Amino acid sequence: MSRFLSGRISRMSPYIPGEQPRGGQYIKLNTNELPFPPSPKAIEAINREVLRDMRLYPDPEVSVLIKAAADFYGVAPSMVYAGNGSDEVLAFAFMAFLERRRLFAPDISYGFYPVYARLFDADYQEMPLREDLSLSVDDYMKVHGNIVIANPNAPTGLAVPVEDIEKLAAARQDRLVIIDEAYGDFWGQSCVPLTEKYDNLLVVQTLSKSRALAGMRVGLAVGSPALIEDLNRVKFSFHPYNINRLSLIAAAEALEDRKYFEKTTAKIISLREGLKSALRERGFSLTDSQSNFVFAKSCKTGGGELYLKLKEKRVLVRRFDLPRIRDYLRITVGSEGEIAALLSALDELRA
């Protein structure tokens, strides 16, 4: 690092993304991408005319995307914010609402939360999950501070009932509750309807997972008009053209193509449940994941060893070297062929 880097930034531990292999053929089950292409309508929308217009700046108001998202969620456009992936949405929320304020989050959750807390000077407090890695809402009811919860959680895949989230929002109106629903579409429940009732609730979503647009980087937030106005204040002070023209068009089309969305998410849910059963038959312990990945632990082989052995067989999964979960592997629900290859590799390894 250079001698000009600030002390606070030099003490940070950046978020480490999932491995993106270059060269060689891997079965990539480590970053929770969809095994299906985006909506055909999204692909068709990227035509020559759109490409010619790339010389022009995109719409800073992202109007076409805001309208499509508002229609999909059944809320007013003034309740929707769009950002460059849900990571940027979360970053702007931390910047806008959490600087020098206390924030409570699960001790095992999305790795960007503590990074953003340090980056934006939030007082980050971890709340231990239960022994079975589930989250108890009761632990958060009386805390004095804001809350961020991934629901379903990453990397455990476990979900908290919407009615429990409502209890959190209702218990104290003076705190902000951020619900990160990056994987919510694979659960089939959402806190978005609650945002019209509670002005202290912000729900964050992404088009990277269930809409297969990870490469387009589009995220959304739904909340009260006041919260959305605050996020736009940050955006227009930092990066007004935060979503490019191609992403705007593709994301809007993907949101409008409900039939394709429902078909692919239903397929992932079916494949997920089948993968759970297959792993249990092989002696694995699993959480009841409601996402597009499973969280599994072998009864025979340690997590670190199994991760490396699978990589030798050209199968990539994700492992987190944290005390409570270091023997678990997070495995993306891939295509039928990818799942078959994973199971074959596990059988060969006698894992």
| Structure token digits, residue 121 | 């000077």
| Torsional class of 124: left (φ above 0), alpha (ψ -120 to 50), beta (otherwise) | beta
Amino acid identity of residue 310, one-letter, is L
Q: Distance (Å, rounded) from C-alpha 198 to C-alpha 261?
A: 28
Distances (CA, A) of 98 to 104, 120, 124, 178, 202: 11, 7, 10, 11, 13
The amino acid sitting at 155 is P
pTM of the model: 0.96
Q: Which residues pair with 146 in a beta bridge?
A: 103
pLDDT value at position 301? 96
Q: Strand 315-316 relative to strand 27-28: parallel, antiparallel, unpaired?
A: parallel
Res. 211 pLDDT band, cuts 50 70 90 = very high
pLDDT > 70: what percent of the chain? 99
Closest of 204, 244, 314 to residue 62, by C-alpha: 244
Name residue 180's beta-bridge partners.
Answer: 150, 204
pLDDT the model gives residue 47: 87
Tokens of 76: 């007013």
The domains of the chain are located at 7-37+259-349, 40-257
pLDDT for the residue numbered 205: 98
Residue 261 and residue 186 in contact, taking contact as beta carbons nearer than 8 Å: no
Pairwise CA distance, residues 351 & 159, whole Å: 28
> Would you say the C-alpha torsion 273, 338, 325, 296 has a positive or negative sign?
positive
Question: Has residue 23 got a pLDDT over 80?
Answer: no
Instruction: Judge whether residue 131 has pLDDT over 80.
Output: yes
Q: What is the pLDDT of residue 48?
A: 84
pLDDT band at 9; cut points 50, 70, 90? confident
Q: Where are the alpha helices (DSSP H) in 16-133?
A: 40-45, 48-52, 63-73, 85-97, 112-119
* pLDDT score for 103: 97
State CA 36 to chain mean position distance: 18
Predicted local confidence at residue 41, as pLDDT: 96
- Mean pLDDT across the chain: 95
Residue 53, token pair as written in the block:
């217009």
Q: Where are the beta strands (DSSP E) in 199-337?
A: 201-206, 219-222, 285-286, 293-297, 315-316, 328-332
Residue 13: predicted pLDDT? 83
pLDDT range class, residue 49, cuts 50, 70, 90: confident
From residue 145, give the alpha-carbon distance in Å to each of 70, 83, 101, 105, 197. Answer: 29, 25, 7, 10, 20
Torsion region of 103: left, alpha or beta (phi above 0 gives left; psi -120 to 50 gives alpha): beta
Multiple choice CATH, 40-257, 3.10.20.440, 3.40.640.10, 2.60.40.2580, 1.10.10.60: 3.40.640.10
Nearest Cα neighbor of 264 from 216, 190, 328, 333 is: 333
Written as six digits, the tokens of 25 are 């053929």
Average pLDDT over residues 152-175: 96
The pLDDT value given to residue 20:
84
Mean pLDDT to the nearest integer, 98-122: 95
pLDDT band at 11 (very low <50, low <70, confident <90, very high): confident
CATH top class, domain 7-37+259-349: alpha beta
Distances (CA, A) of 231 to 65, 159, 189: 16, 26, 25
Lowest-confidence region among 10-24, 37-51, 74-88, 120-134: 10-24
Q: Provide the 3-class DSSP secondary structure of residue 19.
A: coil
User: What is the average pLDDT across 280-297?
Assistant: 98
| pLDDT tens, residue by residue, 66-92 | 999 999 999 999 999 999 999 999 999
**Inter-helix orientation angle 303-312/336-349, to 10°:** 110
pLDDT tens, residue by residue, 296-333: 999 999 999 999 999 999 999 999 999 999 999 999 99
Q: Is a pLDDT exceeding 80 seen at residue 288?
A: yes
Q: Report the C-alpha gap between 218 and 228 in whole angstroms.
A: 16
Q: Which amino acid is at 38?
A: P
